[in-house]
Amino acid sequence: MKIDLTTKLDFNNVLIKPQRTTISSRSEVSLDRTFIFKNSTSKWKGVPIISANMDTTGTFQIANILSRHKILTCLNKFYTFKDYQIYLNQQKNKEDFSTNDFLENVIVSTGISEKNFENLCEIMDGIQSLKWVCIDVANGYMEKMTHFCKKVRERYPKAIIIAGNVATSEMTQELIINGKVDIVKVGIGPGSACLTRMKTGVGVPQLSAIIDCADAAHGCSGHIIGDGGITCPGDMAKAFGGGADFVMCGGIFSGHDENPGELVELNGERYKLFYGMSSELAMKKHYGKMAKYRSSEGRVIKVPYRGSLETTVLDYLGGLRSTCAYVNAYKIKHLPKCTTFILVNQQLNTHLVN
């Protein structure tokens, strides 16, 4: 048995210290960032926020909205090539849809089985303008994960490859150096719909995981995604300030008109369902049952109805610009260098909040 006595921090343990700034308006802040990747020959420019590849947030409809803001959507891994074809044909010639913007800002997800690989290849070979791949498993520490990543890199040398999830520096470097991926997805159990920490006792507080993994990734010319734990625009700013190159969110992008599912009314309030991909609901939906050798590591959440996704997007982008203005970061890329975290016991005055 070993005990690491180093203090590990989450978003609610810190605030960002303000400092003298020459920025006089949020409009002066640029949230666009141009990326050149270690193992891919592709480049990308946009706002480095990603909607998670879950049933309710990793959808074509969500991607249609987010791509207009140059925000990425990680599509769920249960889409097939035929699904892509049908959706693109349906959107063809619509005034509010750009095929180029859409394909530039969607990420094709895959597991690590042979069936998953075949589905990935059919999609990538059938729509060759797609450039993003996310190799996604709950436990990114499996030896099989690294081998699968190398296999995808050999098949698609130009692709921008994401892999995860992990929460420590050593495995971050392993996936970049030996797995030949470009971006490592960081987060074990911080998501609102995730029960991994409760069911397994495994995890690392998300801000410390981001800081440690970002340092490791940047040391070998890679990048990371801070995946999960975002409850408000301030949390997202802290993730970027801690060194995350991208931030992935599920819960904050749920509960809108554009999310799939019917509105549920309960006690006069309206909701939409949001659930983890390791939940019993997701297992039964996609595999017909919950296997006896595993337990449900995801919860089903009734998310209060939020209206249009556009409203939430603008709220978060506005919050990020305001953070940058408080610390004199003209570009989101500069946020880590401009960020000083201070430890706190309380963040908000909730005296009059019900």
232 labelled catalytic: no
Long-range contacts of 205-208 (CB under 8 A, 24+ apart): 205/8, 205/9, 205/10, 205/13, 206/10, 206/11, 206/239, 207/9, 207/10, 207/11, 207/13, 207/14, 207/238, 207/239, 207/242, 207/341, 208/7, 208/8, 208/9, 208/10
- d(CA 82, CA 84) in angstroms, rounded, equals 5
* Peptide bond before residue 165 is cis, with ω within 30 degrees of 0: yes
Among residues 229, 276, 224, 226, the alpha carbon closest in space to that of 252 is found at 229
Radius of gyration of the chain (CA): 20
196 labelled catalytic: yes
Catalytic residue among 74, 134, 194, 338: 194
- d(CA 25, CA 277) in angstroms, rounded, equals 40
341, HSE (Cβ side, Cα atoms, 13 Å): 21
Report how far apart, in Å, the C-alpha atoms of 95 and of each of 99, 151, 247, 276, 314 are: 11, 39, 30, 34, 22
CB 106 within 8 A of CB 148: no
- d(CA 129, CA 125) in angstroms, rounded, equals 9
Catalytic residue among 196, 312, 323, 339: 196
Pairing of strands 246-249, 223-227: parallel
- Give φ, ψ of 50 to 5 degrees: -130, 130
- Residue 207's identity, in one-letter code, is L
- d(CA 46, CA 132) in angstroms, rounded, equals 14
- d(CA 39, CA 339) in angstroms, rounded, equals 29
Residues marked as catalytic: 194, 196
